Amino acid sequence: MKGKEPALIFIDFEFSMPEGRGPKGFFPEIIEVGLISVFERKESNQFSSYVKPRVFKRLSRRCRSFLSITQEDVDQGITLAALVKKLAALNNGGHNKVVTWGNMDMRVLRQNCERARLPFPFSGEFIDLSMEYKRFFGDRNQTGLWKAVQEYGRDGVGNHHKALDDAMTTYHIYQLVEKDKSYLNKVEPTTIGDRVDFTKLQQLVQ
């Protein structure tokens, strides 16, 4: 393990949402997952699935419309327990970095685990790429995922608000930002010789 780069896990979840204020006690539940794991800079695994909501089992009309998802989709999905087991299998003893766009994915996962009395599956480092992007480019406001990739002159992968497509888009932005960071780190600082034209100084002396 020593000396090896940690695995990178790019995750996107889609959540249930209420109609208006929703029923009493409503909280967002994970209803779709998309993830890409990268080990030693090589993509090693993709996973995509719908997830059955445990508590508020019927999706609102707003949720179905916004996410282009059907009740049948989630009814045929995996359980939250199966999802947590799948994620735990990727934990790699905590030798990983979980990368998401925004902090909601891990917050909702943690809340869903707590309510279902399931162990939180990750113990590694968490990276909110939207904040990394904001700091790197000095933006005042947090940028949306697909706006960020378009600012790079690229297009997002697939369809926005489809979990695997958003996870893949997050992965692409991560690669672009890391490439830019690497380039900036390699730029050597200028010397006084770079800033002063000594040929003109020599002409004056002569």
Q: Please identify which of the residues 14, 29, 32, 172 carries the catalytic annotation.
A: 14
In this structure, what token pair is assigned to residue 132?
A: 């990394």
Please enumerate in sequence order all residues whose Cβ is within 8 A of that of 111, keeping only pairs 6 or more positions apart, or say none: 27, 28
Work out the burial of residue 29: count CB atoms within 10 Å of its CB; fewer than 13 is exposed, 13-18 middle, 19 or more buried.
buried
d(CA 52, CA 66): 18
Q: Please identify which of the residues 40, 161, 178, 188 carries the catalytic annotation.
A: 161
Category of 20 on φ-ψ map: left (φ > 0), alpha (ψ -120 to 50) or beta: left
> Residue 187's Cα: distance from chain center in Å?
28
Known catalytic residue at 14? yes
Known catalytic residue at 114? no
d(CA 128, CA 148): 14
Active site residues: 14, 161
